[in-house]
Amino acid sequence: MKKLLLLISFFLGCWQAPALDESYPFTHVGSIHLQPIHDYKHFSGSGEIIKNSMTHSFMKLGYDVIENKNGGTEIVVGDGLNTLHFTCIISDYTDKEVMVIPYYNEDKGYTETTVSQSTDGGEKESSQTDISTSTTTHSGNVQKGSRLEYIRARVGLMLKLHEPYTGKLVWSHHYWYSGLDLAQTADMCTRLALHEFRKLF
């Protein structure tokens, strides 16, 4: 049971409520411009992977995605005239992080009682029964066996929505997710982080 709970915990992300400017009129927003996503340090191509996962997630959420010839990406979120810029910073992009868990086994021991009975086969009046008991106690021990090793991946994203001209920040979110495969972890992290967009538009 402990192993199962441990494995489940590897596939869970860190969820916290995004920061939101509740006074901002999100209903007036028509589109979001996705800004270039820079690679995570020492991991070339991670920015493009996150961008592809992000556009895929926006489409799964029901938004139209337009990729311009100059490399820009626009997400259509409504009929309004306002435009917001969407910034994504990769805060973590780790592959093959090894977690070592010691194997621990406890033997609580046991107590064994043996009863022996013998009868003297003489006359009925003088027959005699002897009963003896012996008790064996094993105090138990603690064993540490082979270690269990899990290779996990971890992806973290910092997301921001801001006005292009004033720079006013209207929405901010930080989300991370852990799994055993880096590609699936990146895709799941992006999808869950963007799920809050349904509440904005």
pLDDT of residue 91: 94
pLDDT of residue 42: 84
pLDDT of residue 5: 38
Query: What band does 199 get if pLDDT is binned at 50, 70 and 90?
Result: confident
The top-scoring range by mean pLDDT among 27-31, 71-75, 125-129, 195-199 is: 27-31
pLDDT of residue 197: 81
Residue 140 has pLDDT above 70, yes or no: no
Give the integer Cα–Cα distance in Å for 161 and 74: 13
Structural domains in the chain plus CATH codes: 27-102+151-197 (3.30.160), 105-145 (no CATH)
Residue 93 has pLDDT above 50, yes or no: yes
pLDDT of residue 3: 45
- Residue range 179-193, pLDDT digits in tens: 888 889 999 999 999
Give the integer Cα–Cα distance in Å for 118 and 115: 10
Query: What band does 1 get if pLDDT is binned at 50, 70 and 90?
Result: very low
Mean pLDDT of 190-199: 87
Mean pLDDT of 90-105: 75
pLDDT of residue 7: 41
- Mean pLDDT for the chain? 80
Backbone phi, then psi, for 157, in 5-degree steps? -130, 140
- Residue range 34-64, pLDDT digits in tens: 999 999 998 999 999 999 999 999 999 999 9
Say if residues 149 and 115 touch (Cβ distance below 8 Å): no
Give the 3-state DSSP-derived string for the chain, with helices as H, strands as E and coil as C: CHHHHHHHHHCCEECCCCEECCCCCHHHEEEEEECCCCCECCECCHHHHHHHHHHHHHHHCCCEEEECCCCCEEEECCCCCEEEEEEEEEEEEEEEEEEEECCEEEECCEEEEEEEEEECCCCCCCCCEEEEEEEEEECCEEEECCCEEEEEEEEEEEEEEECCCCCCEEEEEEEEEEECCHHHHHHHHHHHHHHHHHHCC
pLDDT of residue 159: 95
Question: Can you say whether the dihedral through the CA atoms of 129, 130, 136, 137 is positive or negative?
Answer: positive
Q: Which of 143, 141, 152 is nearest to 102 (CA)?
A: 143
Residue 110 has pLDDT above 90, yes or no: no
Count the Cβ atoms, other than its own, within 10 Å of residue 200. 18
Residue 164 has pLDDT above 70, yes or no: yes
Mean pLDDT of 84-94: 95
Say if residues 124 and 177 touch (Cβ distance below 8 Å): no
